[in-house]
Amino acid sequence: MGRPVVLSNGQLFVGLDESGLVHDFYYPYVGLENLTNARSSQHKIGVWVDGQFSWTNDGMWSTEVTFEDGALISAITLHSDSLQLQLELHDYIDAEHNALVRHITISNQADHDRDIRLFMHQVFEISRNGRADTALYVPDDHYLLDYKGRYSLLIAGKFDDGTKFDQYAVGNYKIEGKAGTFKDAEDGELSDNPVEHGGVDSVIRFQKQIGAGHSATLDYWIVAASSQNDAQRVHTAFSEQDMNNRLEAARNHWTRWLEEGSGEIDLPDVLRAPLQHSLLVVKAHCDVRGSVLASGDSSIFNFGRDYYCYCWPRDAAYALWPLIRLGHFGEARRFFDFARDTMHKDGYLMHKYQPDRAIGSTWHPLVHGKNRELAIQEDETACVLFMMYEYVQASQDEHFVESFYHSFIVPCANFMMHFIDEQTGLPHASYDLWEEKFLTSTYTVTTVIAGLLAAAKFAKLADAPDDAMRWKAAAEAIRANLDKLYHDDGYFVKGFLLEEDGSLTYDTTLDISSLYGPYMYAGLALDDHRIASTAQAIEARILNQSPAGGVLRYENDNYFLTKRQFKGNPWIVSTLWLAQYQLSIGQKEKAQDLLRWALEHQLPSGALSEQFDPENGESLGVTPLVWSHAEMINTILDLS
């Protein structure tokens, strides 16, 4: 189960699941901390009418979960034929405050007036282990408060006419044999229990007499703050305002942001909509302090050991590339600050980072065999240098070189220049971009060429000709040795490992990155026979290798593969990388077919997964994956 809708303001990030329910709630960073119990449950919505109760995810409701056009605002429809009810939700993060607002219209589709009761359930797990949280009712200002330490979550709401919730209940959730306070709602009445601590959840009730064929609208909000007083100030403002104005302000905020970069692009609607939606998904994962999250979808933790809630420097660089191309520069500049501040003193970036700049988890060891090695993927350092120059070219940021030359560019370029094996003339082994193999990979080698050339250009801007000469010479020496990675069968291999006895152990796997790297980064001519022959091998061996179509990352890719009769799962990134190459050499129809494949594999909301089942095309991995959306934008821009 992915997150077809994600909402964010760069500090508060909320992921809604396929039922339109809150499943991830990150604060105060995008991707950190997840304050929900998302691994096992979501915040429920319940309805009581004519003596019958239903949770909206219990099978009695049809559900459509998508976005409004051109905004990070949901457009969710929940419909029940048996209850003759419809709920329409427009959810957003407030443009001014750290608050999730759910704008809910309740429509009575019966032929008689009815007493309709809507129950909003919250289950936060601030303490992570179901202990020491407190939830209580605050009577003076009529709200619920869920808190621990510096986390305060205030829950309240009102109808358009000012009517507030009329009942509440607070209790324990999944501890001491208790299922949860949400059960209290199922008779249509709440106990008004005012406080509980430990593992807690809560419910509030909104009640309204709604005439036949009529509707009523309410706004429900969760305010996130570091103190009760701060949260209460926002609550007071919302209580006194017309919340329709705040919804419109959110729409205007996203319209303005899109117009900063993509408003003038001439595209057909069939491409403009996915481009703008992908831009918004990328933006949603950008923290205001510089991190760019790979994905906020926590559901992968049910199947693996970790989330994707980290900032990989490589993923961040790819995510920011289309923003840079379209003139959205602030996000890139903040990430470059993040990279400079997290760079190792020896001039390289680590595997990944938490959004608060702490080092992320890793599975890369510091030894390989009996040798001490760096637990890095060198391409991440190289890609960031390359993207910095892309940014400077596009933004004309005249202060950038002054700010970053000595603090980031020089140490990183010097590291890459010296991280070379004398015997091969190519970069020393590190882990590949897929985070699996320790070797000197074709992809990493080509990104190092591009990173060193970018550094040399920066050196010219900084009036440092000696640096420029050294780094350019290093890049050219690496490029001169690329044939060591070219197989006699006519393609660039995944890579090789230089053994202690001086021999080279080759990994001859055909990998999409072994085409994309030489094509995009190595500075080779597009008609270079090595690139052309690698592309031919890609199309023959990892394109359309299963009923689902698409392009694999590489042959015999086992990641999330459960159907072993196939050579791997198709990925959006792999498929669109091939499309971009095809566009560059004038094969427009082939590229359009691959772009069409990617568009057909969107969720109804437009969210793009990481990969897909090779047989039935169902989404696998995290959804959305920011990198997938970045390549969607880049491909559309290339096509246009």
Global pTM exceeds 0.95: yes
Residues in the chain: 640
State residue 301's pLDDT score: 67
Q: Can you name the CATH fold of 42-256?
A: Beta-galactosidase; Chain A, domain 5 (2.70.98)
Strand ranges, E, within 50-110: 52-55, 62-67, 74-80, 85-93, 99-108
Would you state the structure tokens that stand for residue 2, as one six-digit string?
Answer: 């992915």
Q: Which residue has the tokens 């809630």?
A: 309
Number of neighbouring beta carbons within 10 Å of residue 416: 26
Q: Can you name the CATH fold of 262-639?
A: Glycosyltransferase (1.50.10)
Which stretches in the chain have pLDDT values below 50? Answer: none
Q: What percent of the chain has a predicted confidence (pLDDT) above 70?
A: 98
Check if 42-256 and 262-639 are the same fold: no
Q: Which residues pair with 164 in a beta bridge?
A: 158
**Taking the domains of the chain in order of start, what are their residue ranges?**
42-256, 262-639
DSSP-derived letter for residue 299 is: G
pLDDT in tens, 441-468: 999 999 999 999 999 999 999 999 999 9
Sign of CA dihedral 271, 276, 277, 278: positive
Residue whose C-alpha is closest to residue 318's, from 293, 340, 337: 293
State residue 266's pLDDT score: 81
Cβ(438)–Cβ(431) under 8 Å?
A: yes
State residue 261's pLDDT score: 78
CA 59 to chain centroid, in Å, comes to: 29
State residue 543's pLDDT score: 97
Q: HEC states along 381-392?
A: HHHHHHHHHHHH
